[in-house]
Structure 1
Amino acid sequence: MGNADRNESDIIFILLGFSDYPELQIPLFLVFLVIYMITVVGNLGMIVVIKINPKLHTPMYLFLSHLSFLDFCYSTIITPKLLQILVVEDRSLSFAPCITQYSFAVICVVTEAFLLAVMAYDRFVAICNPLLYVVVMSQKRCALLLTAVYTWGIISSTIFIYSLLIRSFSAINIINNFLCEYSAIVSVSTSDNCVVETIFFILANFNTFFTLTIVLTSYLFIFVTILKMHSASGRYKAFSTCASHLTGVTIFFGIILFLYCVPSSKSSWFLVRVSTVLYTIVIPMLNPLIYSLRNKDVKETIRNLMELPVRWCIG
């Protein structure tokens, strides 16, 4: 029976989450709650720090503020539902909320992947063509790049969602994960649509490998430029400006590529869930830490903000 014949409100998805490990439900709840709190404070704090410090009003930090915004949104889309299914017995989710969760999650993931590629291009221009940086990375160019990455994220999400909406589902569908994720949703579908799956495969691979190619190409030119520098201090300064981004990119794409390599079998669902935790919950927490700990201007602004209450008390 297809979705056209069955009312969408009658289709229920049951998220198993980590229910096969009942003794870990409360510890996992506490761990994920702490991670979510750190994620919210870290990413919103990063946005505020960049906003109030004029020194950080540059293209690099503009992109970083949008990265923090995406991480905050992504974590907020996923983590509250995960916390809920860890403490309540009712793990069911109707069709519309499940598809909506997946839709917004795709927008965040695809947009972040392309934003990381844009940030790599920004570092390439800054290090390889420093004299042209102000011209190339103008406010207009930055606005166009941001508009492009968000637009493509929405377009990708629309295509992925359409490929799910035309599929058929049973009344009760068991998802062996803690979120509505494409492979898990497709695995419970009663449809057999090779064309739709092929379109998804092509688009997903395009998004991953196109952005990864931009990142790798940018850093190839960056490393060649750094090696040609005669000054050791100049090489260190140039490398330090992109070290945080390189770390974030390595973690982000490393986990995504690992998920590509995990076979779609029941025995691998635990690895899929662990990997999904890493890129949906842990990465959004790590990004503000990675970018703030290695940046003097950000650390200085944070330190000044923390000293404000003390100054007010003394005053």
Structure 2
Amino acid sequence: MAGNNHTDVAEFVLQSFSGDTQLQALLLTFFLLLYLMALAGNALIIMAISLNPGLHTPMYFFLTNLALLDIVCTSTVLPKLLEGLVAKGSTISYRGCMAQLFFLTWFLGAELLLLTAMAYDRYVAICCPLHYSTKMSQPVCILLAGSVWVISAVSTSVHTGLMAQLHFCGPNQIRHFLCEVPTLLLLSCSSTTLNNIMIVIADVYFGVVNFLLTMVSYSFIIASILRIRSMEGKRRAFSTCSSHLLVVCMYYSTVIYTYILPGSGSSMENGKVVALLYTAVSPTLNPLIYSLRNKDVKVALRKVFPCIK
């Protein structure tokens, strides 16, 4: 990430989440609590699934990957946000900003791809149950999960590499509490045409195409559920998909707002709240959504931690 030869800016100034000094202590406590809950909740999910052989299935394999992504995603953003609240403002070096951009874009893209893979897994389980063991064999699951990480890594490498070629001559104040592609492009003194073209391509693939694939999968799933005659069968089938569908809707709505509908002015302030949703709130809620609505996960958690009721 050798970008210093292309910039006059040695560091960027990150904007605080809120300019109200009276809220600093309250926000610090709230964000620290969110961070600790996200780490603890996702770590518990990974531990419970790893230590319970009965959960070594494709669905829980992908859920483990989701929990890992949530941990690394929130750890990319929240520590720097907490530092800014403690110090009443924060700076980040050029290399640090590029690193944060690289990892955040990597993990966000990987999560979108993983949600699509999870939707396909549920489609096969409900619509093609007789072929489930073949279509979702261990090699297939490993291939899907590996593709999720690799494809997103290649994409973020392209975006970060293009960003490193831009010239930043000031101002160096980022109107956000993190380094993201849309906010950094606003500070560039160079032409950002190629960057914008690649952003559109990435938005179409990661956002639009994967969202459509997920929705198509769920349209077939819902159609299959409606054909089930017994109410108990419908309830069980829907319960295995409702948690994932809730996470999909919550996650896509926030990411689309930031990357597909970027703006300026007052929308930048709204963007802080939206960014907080997919970097802190969503990683915190995901373990609760999956564990509270999943009897198998709750049983596994009780086996690992008998004190949990």
Q: 1:5 to 1:153 in 2, by over 3 A?
A: closer
Q: Name the counterpart of 2:5.
A: 4
Q: Which ranges of 4 or more aligned residues in structure 1 deviate by more than 6 Å?
A: none
Deviates more, 1:111-120 or 1:203-212: 203-212
Q: Name the counterpart of 1:142.
A: 141
Following superposition, the deviation at residue 303 of structure 1 comes to 2.2
Distance in 1, Cα, partners of 2:276 & 2:247: 16
Larger radius of gyration: 1
Following superposition, the deviation at residue 64 of structure 1 comes to 0.1
Question: Residues 262 and 272 of structure 1 are in contact (CA less than 8 Å); yes or no, is this contact kept in structure 2?
Answer: no
Matches within 5 A, 1:291-310: 291-307=290-306
Distance in 1, Cα, partners of 2:150 & 2:261: 30
Deviations 1:244-302 (A, max 9, x none): 11111111112223335755122221101010111111001011110000011111122
Question: Which amino acid in the other structure matches residue 238 of structure 1?
Answer: A
Q: Name the counterpart of 1:200.
A: 199
Following superposition, the deviation at residue 3 of structure 1 comes to 5.3
SS where residue 264 of structure 1 aligns? coil
Question: Residues 203 and 259 of structure 2 are in contact (CA less than 8 Å); yes or no, is this contact kept in structure 1?
Answer: no
Matches within 5 A, 1:71-150: 71-89=70-88, 91-150=90-149
RMSD of Structure 2 on Structure 1 (CA): 1.8
Q: 1:37 to 1:229 in 2, by over 3 A?
A: same
Q: Name the counterpart of 2:158.
A: 159
Question: Which amino acid in the other structure matches residue 264 of structure 1?
Answer: G
Q: 1:133 to 1:5 in 2, by over 3 A?
A: closer
Length-normalised TM-score, structure 1: 0.93
Question: Residues 119 and 214 of structure 2 are in contact (CA less than 8 Å); yes or no, is this contact kept in structure 1?
Answer: yes
SS where residue 265 of structure 1 aligns? coil
Deviations 1:18-51 (A, max 9, x none): 2522222111110000000100000011000001
Q: 1:56 to 1:78 in 2, by over 3 A?
A: same
Gaps of 5+ in 1: 310-315
Gaps of 5+ in 2: none
Distance in 1, Cα, partners of 2:89 & 2:228: 61
Matches within 5 A, 1:1-315: 4=5, 6=7, 10-89=9-88, 91-170=90-169, 172-259=171-258, 264-307=263-306
Deviations 1:99-135 (A, max 9, x none): 0011011111111100000000000000000010001
SS where residue 200 of structure 2 aligns? helix
Following superposition, the deviation at residue 67 of structure 1 comes to 0.2
Question: Residues 3 and 166 of structure 1 are in contact (CA less than 8 Å); yes or no, is this contact kept in structure 2?
Answer: no
Distance in 1, Cα, partners of 2:171 & 2:10: 6
Length-normalised TM-score, structure 2: 0.95
